[in-house]
Structure 1
Amino acid sequence: MTEQKIILYREQQRFKQFWLWIIILGAASLFWAGFFYQVIERGKFGDNLVSDAQLVILFALMGLGLPYFFYAMKLTTEVLPGEVRVQLWPFHLRPVSIPMHLVRDFRPISYSPIQDYGGWGIRWGHKGKAYNMSGNEGVLLLFYNRRPLLIGSQSPHKLFEAVRLAKDLKPEQ
């Protein structure tokens, strides 16, 4: 029989910035238009033509693949006794584990994603490393022997309380 670990907190986030989706869908729509006009309607799309086969590949990659890639991307944060796990799928196939005994201090913060970390996703900035998807709040973890780590959250105070509890509890074996 397998033992299940106690999850103190779990959150999944996706990109939900309206402006980001306008850019992604705007770029994808160019490939949709080119595919429809050249492959379906049999017209000529643009001055520097590509073959129908090349356009089908570009349509699949950029018209379908790019929007799906951003839709499927998700940041999962889990807090367990003695451990915090962060996974930004598809970049992490397995969660990144952060043992709480390495954490010196932690606090909920508001931050500027672009100024402090250069945007959203897995970011490195002058204030350390960040895992964030949207918004400007999270929990900052301070370590004994490395740079700080920010975990973005839509519920930073709940995440903070779970991290506080995880720090007090011993890891499960």
Structure 2
Amino acid sequence: MYKETQHFRQPWLWVLLLGSLALVIYRGQPIHVGIMAGVLSLFWFLRLETRIDQEGIAYRWFPFQPTYRVIKWNQMEQVTVRRYSALGEFGGWGIRFSWNGTAHTVSGNWGIAIKQKGKKRTLLVGTQHPDEVRQRIGNEQLVGN
């Protein structure tokens, strides 16, 4: 089994968030400070978890999604690990929708592209370890199908 957990820890994001919090504190509006503190907490605790095993490829956004969304091997037409452009293809990171498909990404430019049987759009789940994922996908598909 392969597991990966990704957090929003990009320095540019935290400079932006903490700068916004500092500005709100400076302006002295308590309700806005509370809102910004909530946003910061959300980004700190939010994480994308991915699991690859004999059943298939599963992902979830913790804490909003308590259970994994599982795509079983027999539901997949094609699976590849590919480089992508978050801004160019999907308009950014997070849960994003485009004409070609849906992306679940946190950072970086590598993802697991899953073409499901009977569906036109591709699902892309971001990864920080493309070589490990490539190896695991090959091994699990042999076992899972």
Superposed pair shares fold, TM > 0.5: yes
Select the residue among 77, 82, 85 that pairs with 1:104.
77
What TM-score comes out, normalization by structure 1 length?
0.76
> What is the alpha-carbon distance in structure 2 between the residues aligned to residue 116 and residue 144 of structure 1?
22
Q: Contact (CA 8 Å) 2:73, 2:144: kept in 1 or not?
A: no
2:42 aligned partner: 69
Q: Answer whether contact 1:128 1:149 (CA < 8 A) is retained.
A: yes
Q: Which residue of 2 aligns with 1:123?
A: 96
State percent identity of aligned pairs: 28
TM-score, normalising length: structure 2: 0.89
Q: Is the 8 A contact 1:82 1:101 kept in 2?
A: no
CA distance in 1, matches of 2:98, 2:58: 21
> Hey, which of these two has a bigger chunk of strand by percent?
2
1:154 aligns with 2:128: yes
Match of 1:169 in 2: 143
Q: Deviations over 1:36-67 (max 9, x none)?
A: xxxxxxxxxxxxxxxxxxx33322221x2111
- Structure 1 alignment gaps of length 5 or more: 1-7, 36-54
- Among 1, 11, 27, the alignment partner of 2:4 is 11
**Corresponding residue SS for 2:128:** coil
Asked whether the equivalents of residues 131 and 152 of structure 1 are also in contact (C-alpha less than 8 Å), the reply is yes
Structure 2 counterpart of 1:22, from 15, 21, 24: 15
Alignment-derived partner of residue 86 in structure 1: 59
In structure 1, give the amino acid aligned to 2:137: V
| Other structure's SS at 1:151 match | strand
Q: Which runs of 4+ in 1 moved over 6 A?
A: none
SS for the counterpart of 2:57 is: strand
Distance 1:82 1:168 in 2: 12
Say which one has the larger Rg.
1
Query: Which 5+ residue runs of structure 2 have no aligned equivalent?
Result: none
Equivalenced residue count is 144
